[in-house]
Amino acid sequence: MGTITAPWKQLLLNALESNSHLKHSSYFQLATVGCNGRPSNRTLVFRGFQESSDKFHINTDNRTHKIEELKHCPFAEICWYFTDSWEQFRISGRVDVIDGSNPDNFKLQQREKSWFASSVKSRLQYLGPNPGLPRISEHQSEEEVRLDPSIGPVAAFCLLVLDPDQVDYLNLKNNERVKFVSTLDMNGVKNWTSERINP
Protein backbone atom coordinates (compact mmCIF):
# COMPACT_ATOMS: atom_id res chain seq x y z
CA MET A 1 0.00 0.00 0.00
CA GLY A 2 1.39 3.37 -1.02
CA THR A 3 0.68 6.85 0.17
CA ILE A 4 0.71 10.31 -1.36
CA THR A 5 2.55 12.80 0.86
CA ALA A 6 0.09 13.98 3.48
CA PRO A 7 -0.56 17.74 3.10
CA TRP A 8 -0.68 18.23 6.90
CA LYS A 9 2.70 16.55 7.48
CA GLN A 10 4.72 19.60 6.38
CA LEU A 11 2.63 21.80 8.70
CA LEU A 12 3.56 19.48 11.58
CA LEU A 13 7.24 19.34 10.61
CA ASN A 14 7.28 23.17 10.42
CA ALA A 15 5.66 23.40 13.88
CA LEU A 16 8.22 20.96 15.30
CA GLU A 17 11.05 22.99 13.80
CA SER A 18 9.78 26.40 14.94
CA ASN A 19 9.15 25.10 18.48
CA SER A 20 12.28 22.90 18.71
CA HIS A 21 13.90 25.19 21.29
CA LEU A 22 11.14 24.13 23.72
CA LYS A 23 11.77 20.68 25.22
CA HIS A 24 8.05 20.03 25.69
CA SER A 25 7.36 20.40 21.94
CA SER A 26 8.29 16.72 21.42
CA TYR A 27 5.49 15.57 23.76
CA PHE A 28 1.88 14.96 22.78
CA GLN A 29 -1.21 13.44 24.36
CA LEU A 30 -2.62 10.11 23.15
CA ALA A 31 -6.25 9.37 23.92
CA THR A 32 -7.67 5.87 23.71
CA VAL A 33 -11.04 4.33 24.56
CA GLY A 34 -10.84 2.51 27.89
CA CYS A 35 -12.19 -1.02 28.18
CA ASN A 36 -14.96 0.50 30.35
CA GLY A 37 -15.93 2.85 27.47
CA ARG A 38 -14.47 5.92 29.19
CA PRO A 39 -11.71 8.12 27.71
CA SER A 40 -8.13 7.37 28.69
CA ASN A 41 -5.34 9.87 28.05
CA ARG A 42 -1.60 10.15 28.61
CA THR A 43 1.47 12.13 27.48
CA LEU A 44 4.00 10.41 25.21
CA VAL A 45 7.18 11.28 23.31
CA PHE A 46 7.17 11.74 19.53
CA ARG A 47 9.61 9.17 18.10
CA GLY A 48 9.26 10.13 14.45
CA PHE A 49 7.51 8.81 11.38
CA GLN A 50 7.82 5.41 9.78
CA GLU A 51 10.06 5.79 6.71
CA SER A 52 8.39 7.43 3.70
CA SER A 53 5.00 7.58 5.37
CA ASP A 54 2.75 9.61 7.63
CA LYS A 55 2.56 6.87 10.30
CA PHE A 56 3.66 7.82 13.82
CA HIS A 57 6.02 5.68 15.89
CA ILE A 58 5.31 5.56 19.63
CA ASN A 59 7.31 3.50 22.13
CA THR A 60 5.50 2.02 25.09
CA ASP A 61 5.50 -0.77 27.66
CA ASN A 62 3.22 -3.66 26.71
CA ARG A 63 2.25 -4.02 30.38
CA THR A 64 0.42 -0.67 30.39
CA HIS A 65 -3.37 -0.28 30.22
CA LYS A 66 -3.17 1.40 26.80
CA ILE A 67 -2.19 -1.93 25.19
CA GLU A 68 -5.29 -3.66 26.51
CA GLU A 69 -7.37 -0.65 25.46
CA LEU A 70 -5.96 -0.61 21.91
CA LYS A 71 -6.54 -4.35 21.51
CA HIS A 72 -10.13 -3.75 22.61
CA CYS A 73 -10.55 -0.69 20.34
CA PRO A 74 -7.67 0.12 17.95
CA PHE A 75 -8.64 3.77 17.38
CA ALA A 76 -6.83 6.63 19.10
CA GLU A 77 -6.24 10.36 18.80
CA ILE A 78 -3.13 12.46 19.29
CA CYS A 79 -3.53 16.03 20.55
CA TRP A 80 -0.46 18.20 20.15
CA TYR A 81 -0.22 21.89 21.05
CA PHE A 82 2.79 24.03 20.17
CA THR A 83 3.00 26.94 22.61
CA ASP A 84 5.24 29.27 20.59
CA SER A 85 3.43 29.04 17.27
CA TRP A 86 -0.06 28.60 18.80
CA GLU A 87 -0.80 25.55 16.65
CA GLN A 88 -2.88 22.53 17.59
CA PHE A 89 -2.97 19.20 15.77
CA ARG A 90 -5.59 16.56 16.52
CA ILE A 91 -4.57 13.42 14.65
CA SER A 92 -6.81 10.38 14.74
CA GLY A 93 -6.44 6.94 13.28
CA ARG A 94 -5.93 3.25 13.85
CA VAL A 95 -3.05 1.96 15.99
CA ASP A 96 -1.08 -1.19 15.25
CA VAL A 97 0.38 -2.78 18.40
CA ILE A 98 3.73 -4.44 17.61
CA ASP A 99 5.22 -6.60 20.36
CA GLY A 100 7.77 -9.40 20.18
CA SER A 101 5.14 -11.97 19.19
CA ASN A 102 4.19 -10.19 15.96
CA PRO A 103 4.50 -12.59 12.98
CA ASP A 104 5.43 -9.84 10.48
CA ASN A 105 9.22 -9.55 9.98
CA PHE A 106 9.03 -5.96 8.69
CA LYS A 107 7.11 -4.89 11.81
CA LEU A 108 9.60 -6.69 14.07
CA GLN A 109 12.44 -4.84 12.30
CA GLN A 110 10.64 -1.52 12.91
CA ARG A 111 10.27 -2.45 16.59
CA GLU A 112 13.99 -3.26 16.82
CA LYS A 113 14.96 0.03 15.11
CA SER A 114 12.82 1.98 17.59
CA TRP A 115 14.44 0.11 20.47
CA PHE A 116 17.98 0.95 19.39
CA ALA A 117 17.01 4.56 18.56
CA SER A 118 16.05 5.04 22.24
CA SER A 119 18.55 6.03 24.90
CA VAL A 120 19.80 3.35 27.28
CA LYS A 121 18.11 5.24 30.14
CA SER A 122 14.80 5.05 28.27
CA ARG A 123 15.30 1.32 27.59
CA LEU A 124 15.90 0.64 31.29
CA GLN A 125 12.29 1.63 32.06
CA TYR A 126 11.10 -1.56 30.36
CA LEU A 127 13.00 -3.68 32.89
CA GLY A 128 11.32 -2.10 35.91
CA PRO A 129 8.27 -3.31 37.81
CA ASN A 130 4.89 -3.50 36.07
CA PRO A 131 3.55 0.05 35.44
CA GLY A 132 0.34 0.88 37.28
CA LEU A 133 0.69 -1.80 39.97
CA PRO A 134 1.21 -0.97 43.66
CA ARG A 135 4.82 -0.18 44.59
CA ILE A 136 6.25 -2.99 46.72
CA SER A 137 9.38 -1.25 48.00
CA GLU A 138 10.21 2.40 48.57
CA HIS A 139 13.88 1.59 47.94
CA GLN A 140 13.69 0.36 44.37
CA SER A 141 16.49 1.90 42.35
CA GLU A 142 17.61 1.88 38.73
CA GLU A 143 20.95 0.45 39.85
CA GLU A 144 19.28 -2.92 40.59
CA VAL A 145 18.62 -3.33 36.86
CA ARG A 146 21.35 -4.02 34.31
CA LEU A 147 20.96 -3.77 30.55
CA ASP A 148 23.34 -4.87 27.81
CA PRO A 149 23.01 -2.01 25.25
CA SER A 150 23.81 -4.37 22.36
CA ILE A 151 20.88 -6.73 23.09
CA GLY A 152 17.63 -6.21 21.14
CA PRO A 153 14.21 -5.30 22.54
CA VAL A 154 13.13 -6.80 25.85
CA ALA A 155 9.74 -8.52 26.10
CA ALA A 156 7.99 -5.49 27.64
CA PHE A 157 9.01 -3.14 24.80
CA CYS A 158 6.20 -2.44 22.36
CA LEU A 159 6.03 -0.23 19.27
CA LEU A 160 2.75 1.49 18.46
CA VAL A 161 2.23 2.68 14.89
CA LEU A 162 -0.58 5.19 14.48
CA ASP A 163 -1.87 5.37 10.90
CA PRO A 164 -3.71 8.72 10.63
CA ASP A 165 -6.97 8.99 8.74
CA GLN A 166 -8.06 12.44 9.94
CA VAL A 167 -6.18 15.56 11.05
CA ASP A 168 -7.75 18.68 12.53
CA TYR A 169 -5.28 21.58 12.33
CA LEU A 170 -5.87 24.84 14.22
CA ASN A 171 -3.62 27.91 14.03
CA LEU A 172 -4.68 30.42 16.68
CA LYS A 173 -2.27 33.15 15.50
CA ASN A 174 -3.96 33.53 12.13
CA ASN A 175 -7.36 32.14 13.15
CA GLU A 176 -7.17 29.32 10.59
CA ARG A 177 -8.54 25.80 10.88
CA VAL A 178 -8.23 23.03 8.30
CA LYS A 179 -9.61 19.52 8.41
CA PHE A 180 -7.72 16.81 6.47
CA VAL A 181 -9.44 13.47 5.73
CA SER A 182 -7.95 10.43 4.02
CA THR A 183 -9.52 7.77 1.83
CA LEU A 184 -8.00 4.72 0.17
CA ASP A 185 -8.30 4.36 -3.59
CA MET A 186 -8.81 1.02 -5.39
CA ASN A 187 -5.03 0.39 -5.34
CA GLY A 188 -4.77 0.90 -1.58
CA VAL A 189 -3.13 4.32 -1.95
CA LYS A 190 -4.07 6.83 0.73
CA ASN A 191 -5.35 10.13 -0.67
CA TRP A 192 -5.94 13.24 1.45
CA THR A 193 -8.53 15.96 1.00
CA SER A 194 -8.59 19.20 2.94
CA GLU A 195 -11.29 21.68 3.84
CA ARG A 196 -11.06 25.02 5.61
CA ILE A 197 -13.50 25.12 8.51
CA ASN A 198 -14.47 27.68 11.12
CA PRO A 199 -12.04 27.87 14.05
Confidence of residue 145 (pLDDT cuts 50, 70, 90): low
Contact present, 117 and 88 (Cβ < 8 Å)? no
Ramachandran assignment for 38, one of left (phi > 0), alpha (psi -120 to 50 degrees), beta (any other): beta
Q: Return the higher-pLDDT residue of 14 and 131.
A: 14
Task: Give 130: exposed, middle or buried? Use CB within 10 Å, 0-12, 13-18, 19+.
Answer: exposed
The mean per-residue pLDDT over the stretch 120-139 comes to 83
How many residues in total does the chain contain? Answer: 199
Q: Number of folded domains in the chain?
A: 1
Q: Per the domain annotation, does 139 fall within a domain?
A: no
CATH number at 52 reads 2.30.110.10
What tens digit of pLDDT does each residue of 64-106 get?
999 999 999 999 999 999 999 999 999 999 999 999 999 999 9
Domain for residue 32, yes or no?
yes
pLDDT of residue 168 exceeding 50, the answer is yes
Domain span including residue 45? 7-131+144-197
Report if residue 44 sits inside a domain: yes
Q: What is the pLDDT of residue 1?
A: 44
pTM: 0.89
Whether 14 is covered by a domain: the verdict is yes
- Is the residue at 29 inside a domain? yes
